[in-house]
Amino acid sequence: MAEGNCAHKAPSLFFPSDGVGVERAKKVCEGCPVATQCLEYAIANRIDHGVWGGTSERQRRRIIRARTKAAREAASRPEALASS
Ligand code: SF4
């Protein structure tokens, strides 16, 4: 985060209580050079609250669900079963 667009912003900006606040925080994340790492950190650590990597809590839940579903589908493909 020391290298992020938020380095000199108040942390509270990234823990908004409404949609307007979420959009305000996401604007700061736009073009952030470490947005990908920030997002992956939040996902890997199951951080539920706040805006991370330009995503809202809801968006991260969707990403996690999509990745989980894709992983399950990949694991159930015949070629995956044949090699296990
Ligand atoms: S993506 Fe957003 S929250 Fe993450 S480091 Fe960048 S500005 Fe900060």
Categorize the per-residue pLDDT at 48 as very low, low, confident or very high, splitting at 50, 70 and 90. Answer: very high
Q: With contact defined as beta carbons under 8 Å apart, do 6 and 52 qualify?
A: no
Categorize the per-residue pLDDT at 35 as very low, low, confident or very high, splitting at 50, 70 and 90. Answer: very high
Categorize the per-residue pLDDT at 2 as very low, low, confident or very high, splitting at 50, 70 and 90. Answer: confident
DSSP 8-state class, residue 15: S
Q: How far apart are CA 6 and CA 56, in angstroms?
A: 15
Q: H/E element holding 49? A: none
Range in 1-10, 20-29, 60-69, 75-84 the model is least confident about: 75-84
Q: How far apart are CA 52 and CA 28, in angstroms?
A: 10
- For residue 84, pLDDT over 80 is answered with no
Ligand 1 midpoint to CA 41 (Å)? 11
Torsion angle, alpha carbons of 39, 44, 49, 55, to 10: 20
Locate the domains of the chain by residue range.
11-83
Which of 22, 24, 45, 52 to mutate for ligand 1's pocket (most ligand atoms within 8 Å of CB)?
52
- For residue 77, pLDDT over 90 is answered with no
Residue of the nearest CA to atom 3 in ligand 1? 52
